[in-house]
Chains A and B, each alone.
Chain A
């Protein structure tokens, strides 16, 4: 009996790690192979000739030498999307509606985290500090972002969604869009009266901008140094930690069982003595906190944020959630990784393969084309609607 129980706990901690490893490896492998095949197809084409003329490298070698870096970037971005997508999918799980305000919850997390760091910098705390202190400060900023975003998500639920709980499904959706605009402008307003600026830049501190060399590989005759920015490692580590934590919370604790019970059958859950409103609040808190943390990590990675920073990551994370199967936590993880990878590949190769006709800025087209294709051909998403994974 005890052994079975202990193994359940262990399983819930190890399973997501296994899933993450499989998803990352599989997605990376599929994208890499597809890209290399495409490069072979393009050999001798006009794009190939142009590349040889300007860069003295053929298209296959170009693809191969860039590949490792593209994969690393894709994984980083993918985890950020996954962390945001979990917020959409958790809320969908319990309430069956899309919380379009989630992208602004993400932005609030980003702003609070960045403001904390800017305040620390203003107090002269960030310059020439030991490395460990830099990590403590970053953790502090992430926690502040999580608290603010989680609290705001709960507040939004209590004021804008709960009164509409029994209204037709379109009504809370419209309310969510309204909240989204409101929060966007609220951030803008707050920033403009307190700092006079709409965009903020995360202070440079610690060793986050340094790159560590992972390995030197001889690829296509060129020795390529594959390196990764320390902040990318931080983003990946933090995201993995959160994903494992969330999986543990949902699958191995009493609160998690209550969340799943509410997702599956609200009235029956209430008859089991579960306070449904409390659990829904909690779902928003957890989803919002994940979004907030993702916001701070996003700011760390991309440096500059503005009040509209949530829009694109938000809508892409929504795409990721739909791609994986909305309401499905594992699906959100997979969808995030696939989308991050796709974007990274498109950003790196689109320009070379189209001879500059469609640059990296067109990568968004691919993300949203995927959204449309999934909605048309497989509306239940890659992993389908596994109600069991709903949270």
Chain B
């Protein structure tokens, strides 16, 4: 291990290094304004008088419950399926590993509506897997709550897998070797060494996946539709309300903002130091 001088607290050095140059300061301020201003105006424009009434209304309660249910299920699926995939990418050498990693990352850059269309071709009534499923079991996926979760998993999983893979790589294979010399099987090593060491990465990945799921709109509305009670999540409800009653839409947006910021703040203290 190498010794390094303790890093000076951010800002301390700035005192000695002179003023920040305008050429960096100006765009930085502009960026901050761009990010913060719309949130401030949203808060200002929200009709707070009707906030609680709106919150208790039937469609909002149903959409909120569905958003909570689907986003939690999404995180669950990501953890159960995504953790092993991340482990495979980080720890096992096989042909096409680079290709698989690239494929996993594609949904990150895919427009959500395209993701929805792609899901229809796979799981739609006449899709490759969807038609097979319908013929053999009579079940169809689109326009069900299941479809919402599938769409959310599709767009959220890459965040989770890449975050966990990064954590596994950082933790390194060194302790896996130690565990093997102590007689542990790979499964024991995974449970008792690899996973505990990568836990912060798992939690960060889960939060990212959850946030992505909560805000998901394009893929959901394309693949699952917008039916109150079964597929209408908060973003879909906001979109519908916006056309009829923009003021109510602002209230709903505020609700979503409060929920997501609240959860992030709750987790931040314990798990999300870097965020």
Physical interaction between A and B: no
Chain B interface residues (CB < 8 Å from chain A):
none
Chain A interface residues (CB < 8 Å from chain B):
none
